[in-house]
Chains A and B, each alone.
Chain A
């Protein structure tokens, strides 16, 4: 009963079909609605294959022809971060959300929703441009002089590499932001006649004043601990203590619980808190 891949998880509760409820939205600012789909049960599915099957099916539970659900994905190996969504109330990647496991926890249906902290573009696709804009604001890069042949980077301890590697696995998926009570959704309405460039600029000004989120705080930690990155650490610390910086963090510690890459976000935040304090004191004394 418990040996082949199938029987272990099917057990005696193998359903005949899978009921999937999707919170859909046709476009930005439109009213969301729920749609239900029924798929014949198969073992070893994940939520990605469920969405692929819904697309191939082309109709909802009542047999009505409906457009396929829009969603974002790429690698399907939980390394690109694209397919992040809220599944049965929990933010995670669709590729590692295994249907058999979901049905064990909640046999009647699988519920798919877009992340709530980012503006919906369509169905499960949200606009996460803000995450990447924040990486600009915090200068999340090593400011090398050039790309010429100047020999290797500085030698580093194994300890330093291990920490940096942990932080550097952040795939900008947005899970930590979705779970954070301080990270709030910002949806900037377009002005009549405004060009795309103007809109993006205005949107960025607004989002840049809002909380940067745990991922960005950990990235400041990452680049300030890099031997070359440390050379402009003060600029990053200025951003850290500025508007939307570390003082917004309410220490709810949800971020570290939902991070799919198990990045020690709260440890980083604590380290950044100390760095912020020292930096502020230094600034008072103009050091």
Chain B
């Protein structure tokens, strides 16, 4: 049996790809997961996975173009070498997944089919029906099961990670875990620990994320000293189906095929939608953006729908925020042919036929771009040195992070169909570096560590567990506190952000945190106690929630998913050419100044009392110089002209 043991927390695409590769390289992997890994959140991804391919190459695409789109989409907030390496690996990753049996859609000639996805010029996206994430996850799950049979992998499913174990030098030597069935708490000595636990959408109450995505594994690592990067960057998808339990995605293609977004002119008009005459409907996107209508860019659609329901109080329903997305004016035949699949999803979960009744939709928290800070080792060519133990290594020696729970690949905003890629890439790419780290380390250290180190950790977590049972029974209900937390976070820290609101939300979150620490259990048994597991995870949501709020409060600019109207760049208002030019010059000055001030990663560290301390980290933008994102900006053309002129002398100087 292999002599190096790596513990992987999380069995989605990132955790499984790391596990599979580590096992191939000869490590013994212990895999910890809240659910059987086949049920991980990766299965929810529908659209596909991006890579340059033989077809797009002939249209002028390249790895570099994919890299550039990702960086531009992320508003330049990510270090460029890891992104470049990811784009370089992408075609090889798709090939590997193809060999592993992923049921990618085919062309009549038998090649993998690709489709075009939002924001790119090329059909880069490989897909497997409408459930690409599920198919990729299953292929990795199958490979890991194979390694389980050979004894290289040992799974702990229905076990929860409670925290890392650090020695007196701050080096990670293992972790503490708990069996969610028997509630047994135990420690595992390990040579390295990998956190691949996904996003933290559950902090926002309901989101498009799965119930396991509560951020607690990341939070426990952050509370143990790991840095957290770009917490404030949370992607919100404009159209989701609000359910009382979850917000489920509604594809943008509904608007693409002619869907119209509206609210009654009379707020909360009680009449059913078809009885509301045309002139009493407010098609707010069409009225406010006559040029783009319902097909405004994603971030604008998200903001407008959010504003009309919150600030303007025009939600269709009184108790629930939503607007109509109306397809009922379109022929049924067209809807069935072009939108059949997604309309069935709506029907399945809402029990209503969207061909005859307008859908009710609202934006939903969808992805966390931020996550645990991780390092990388850059090559002279601007890529990564594969096999370097620095890759995906957090600031805690011996702890690595990858997948949605790292901050590395998506900057201020994630490009569609890049998440599956970043998860598989970070897992595969990091594995040789992790092995290099454990081999280079203190040989056999695992066996020489004092048993007191592990006993102490076990005692600590047992004590935390027992404390819940000693609480007075009249405390608050943790489920209700969670609902409040979700409401506060959603109102203040999603689509539109204002400093006063963020300040108020922070106060409210502190108050909720104090209540959560006193919350009462309604289940005081010690067998499969989901009540306690939830209450504990809830407590651990607060440090991350506070990092999100603080990061957003301090960042006085607009970048990617982070939008503060007070600091929005102006449009060009002049008609006169000279004045237009002057405004564009001023615009570029301000942009350059803003870049100097704010093109920095937010890095949060957790103080002993759970409060975040923020500092900023320079971003490696050495491969593609930052430039303004001008999509939809009035006067964009002249701004671009001025910006280009300014870049020329610099380019000449560097050549």
Q: Is the CB of A80 within 8 A of B43?
A: yes
- In angstroms, Cα B212 to Cα A125, docked, is 16
Q: Is the CB of A152 within 8 A of B181?
A: no
A141-B146, A228-B99 known; A78 and B348 CB under 8 Å?
Answer: yes
B38 to A: closest C-beta gap in Å: 6
B504 to A: closest C-beta gap in Å: 25
Is residue A205 within 8 Å, beta carbon to beta carbon, of the partner chain?
no
Segment touching B, from A96-104, A250-258, A265-273: A96-104
Write out the residue numbers on chain A whose beta carbons fall within 8 Å of the beta carbon of B244: 42, 44-46, 49
Write out the residue numbers on chain B whose beta carbons fall within 8 Å of the beta carbon of A161: 103-106
- In angstroms, Cα B212 to Cα A228, docked, is 34
B515 to A: closest C-beta gap in Å: 15
**Chain A residue with minimal CB distance to B24?**
A147
A68-B530, A68-B531, A147-B428 known; A164 and B245 CB under 8 Å?
Answer: no
Write out the residue numbers on chain B whose beta carbons fall within 8 Å of the beta carbon of A157: 106, 110
B430 to A: closest C-beta gap in Å: 13
Segment touching A, from B90-98, B284-292, B539-547: B90-98
- In angstroms, Cα B103 to Cα A226, docked, is 10
Query: Which of B101, B106, B350, B360 has most A Cβ within 10 Å?
Result: B101
Segment touching A, from B131-139, B460-468, B553-561, B590-598: B131-139
- In angstroms, Cα B106 to Cα A103, docked, is 43
Contact of B349 among A26, A46, A143, A165 (CB under 8 A): A46
Is residue B631 within 8 Å, beta carbon to beta carbon, of the partner chain?
no
B440 to A: closest C-beta gap in Å: 22
Contact of A80 among B24, B128, B129, B210 (CB under 8 A): B210
- In angstroms, Cα B43 to Cα A82, docked, is 12
Segment touching A, from B250-258, B268-276, B392-400, B401-409: B268-276
Write out the residue numbers on chain B whose beta carbons fall within 8 Å of the beta carbon of A144: 99-100, 143
Is residue A73 within 8 Å, beta carbon to beta carbon, of the partner chain?
yes
**Chain B residue with minimal CB distance to A69?**
B530
- In angstroms, Cα B241 to Cα A98, docked, is 15
Write out the residue numbers on chain A whose beta carbons fall within 8 Å of the beta carbon of B103: 161, 164-165, 168
- In angstroms, Cα B137 to Cα A171, docked, is 11
> Of residues 111 to 147 in A, which have CB atoms within 8 Å of B's CB atoms?
121-122, 125, 128, 132, 135-136, 139-144, 146-147
- In angstroms, Cα B112 to Cα A48, docked, is 37
Write out the residue numbers on chain B whose beta carbons fall within 8 Å of the beta carbon of A160: 106
Is residue B635 within 8 Å, beta carbon to beta carbon, of the partner chain?
no
Write out the residue numbers on chain A whose beta carbons fall within 8 Å of the beta carbon of B131: 79, 169
> Of residues 577 to 622 in B, which have CB atoms within 8 Å of A's CB atoms?
none
- In angstroms, Cα B109 to Cα A161, docked, is 12
Q: Is the CB of B522 within 8 A of A65?
A: yes
Q: Is the CB of B99 within 8 A of A142?
A: yes
Query: Which of B94, B103, B146, B479 has most A Cβ within 10 Å?
Result: B103
Is residue B21 within 8 Å, beta carbon to beta carbon, of the partner chain?
yes
Q: Is the CB of A3 within 8 A of B108?
A: no
> Of residues 126 to 155 in B, which have CB atoms within 8 Å of A's CB atoms?
128-129, 131, 134-135, 138-139, 142-143, 145-146, 148-149
Write out the residue numbers on chain B whose beta carbons fall within 8 Å of the beta carbon of A4: 272-273, 357
B384 to A: closest C-beta gap in Å: 16
Interface string of B180-193 (1 = CB under 8 A from A): 01000000000000
Q: Is the CB of B522 within 8 A of A155?
A: no
Is residue A151 within 8 Å, beta carbon to beta carbon, of the partner chain?
yes
Is residue B632 within 8 Å, beta carbon to beta carbon, of the partner chain?
no
Q: Is the CB of A80 within 8 A of B35?
A: yes
A77-B44, A165-B128, A168-B135 known; A132 and B36 CB under 8 Å?
Answer: yes
Is residue A95 within 8 Å, beta carbon to beta carbon, of the partner chain?
yes
Interface string of A149-172 (1 = CB under 8 A from B): 111110111101100110011011
Q: Is the CB of A75 within 8 A of B44?
A: yes
- In angstroms, Cα B522 to Cα A66, docked, is 7
Write out the residue numbers on chain B whose beta carbons fall within 8 Å of the beta carbon of A78: 348
- In angstroms, Cα B20 to Cα A142, docked, is 13
Q: Is the CB of B181 within 8 A of A46?
A: no
**Chain A residue with minimal CB distance to B320?**
A44
Write out the residue numbers on chain A whose beta carbons fall within 8 Å of the beta carbon of B531: 55, 67-68
Segment touching B, from A5-13, A180-188, A234-242, A274-282: A5-13
- In angstroms, Cα B110 to Cα A122, docked, is 48
Is residue A58 within 8 Å, beta carbon to beta carbon, of the partner chain?
yes
Chain B interfacial residues counted at CB < 8 A: 76
Q: Is the CB of B479 within 8 A of A79?
A: no
Is residue A211 within 8 Å, beta carbon to beta carbon, of the partner chain?
no
**Chain A residue with minimal CB distance to B212?**
A74
**Chain B residue with minimal CB distance to A100?**
B351
> Of residues 20 to 56 in B, which have CB atoms within 8 Å of A's CB atoms?
20-21, 24, 35-36, 38-41, 43-44
A27 to B: closest C-beta gap in Å: 5
- In angstroms, Cα B531 to Cα A70, docked, is 8
Write out the residue numbers on chain B whose beta carbons fall within 8 Å of the beta carbon of A68: 522-523, 530-531
Is residue B243 within 8 Å, beta carbon to beta carbon, of the partner chain?
yes
Contact of A79 among B20, B43, B483 (CB under 8 A): B43
Is residue A56 within 8 Å, beta carbon to beta carbon, of the partner chain?
yes
Q: Is the CB of A142 within 8 A of B101?
A: yes
Interface string of B504-533 (1 = CB under 8 A from A): 000000000000000000111101101100
- In angstroms, Cα B148 to Cα A132, docked, is 11
Is residue A52 within 8 Å, beta carbon to beta carbon, of the partner chain?
yes
Contact of A136 among B149, B522, B523 (CB under 8 A): B149
Is residue A37 within 8 Å, beta carbon to beta carbon, of the partner chain?
no
- In angstroms, Cα B39 to Cα A234, docked, is 29
Q: Is the CB of A155 within 8 A of B248?
A: no
A204 to B: closest C-beta gap in Å: 11
A136-B148, A144-B99 known; A155 and B110 CB under 8 Å?
Answer: yes
- In angstroms, Cα B352 to Cα A86, docked, is 24
Is residue A213 within 8 Å, beta carbon to beta carbon, of the partner chain?
no
Contact of A74 among B100, B210, B360 (CB under 8 A): B210
Q: Is the CB of A56 within 8 A of B477?
A: yes
**Chain A residue with minimal CB distance to B149?**
A136
**Chain A residue with minimal CB distance to B181?**
A121
A70-B530, A165-B103 known; A3 and B275 CB under 8 Å?
Answer: yes
Contact of B101 among A67, A152, A223 (CB under 8 A): A223
Q: Is the CB of A101 within 8 A of B246?
A: no
Is residue B630 within 8 Å, beta carbon to beta carbon, of the partner chain?
no
Q: Is the CB of A49 within 8 A of B245?
A: yes
Contact of B145 among A42, A65, A136 (CB under 8 A): A136
Is residue B300 within 8 Å, beta carbon to beta carbon, of the partner chain?
no
Q: Is the CB of B111 within 8 A of A155?
A: yes
Contact of B479 among A52, A82, A142, A164 (CB under 8 A): A52
Q: Is the CB of A228 within 8 A of B105?
A: no
Q: Is the CB of A27 within 8 A of B527?
A: yes
Q: Is the CB of A152 within 8 A of B99?
A: yes
Contact of B210 among A26, A75, A140, A172 (CB under 8 A): A75
- In angstroms, Cα B146 to Cα A136, docked, is 7
Q: List 30 A-B contacts (CB under 8 A).
A: A44-B244, A45-B244, A48-B245, A49-B244, A67-B524, A67-B525, A70-B528, A74-B39, A74-B211, A75-B39, A75-B44, A76-B243, A77-B44, A77-B248, A77-B349, A79-B44, A82-B39, A98-B350, A98-B351, A146-B24, A152-B95, A153-B98, A155-B111, A158-B105, A165-B105, A165-B129, A168-B103, A169-B131, A172-B38, A223-B101
11 further contact pairs, Cβ within 8 A, besides A73-B211, A152-B98: A5-B350, A58-B477, A74-B40, A77-B349, A79-B43, A80-B43, A95-B245, A136-B149, A142-B139, A153-B98, A171-B43
Which residues does A use to contact B, with CB under 8 Å? Answer: 3-5, 7-9, 26-27, 42, 44-46, 48-49, 52, 55-56, 58, 65-68, 70, 72-82, 95-96, 98, 100-101, 121-122, 125, 128, 132, 135-136, 139-144, 146-147, 149-153, 155-158, 160-161, 164-165, 168-169, 171-172, 223, 226, 228-229
A-B pairs with lowest CB-CB distance, top 10? A3-B272, A67-B523, A155-B110, A141-B142, A153-B98, A142-B101, A80-B39, A4-B272, A122-B528, A56-B479
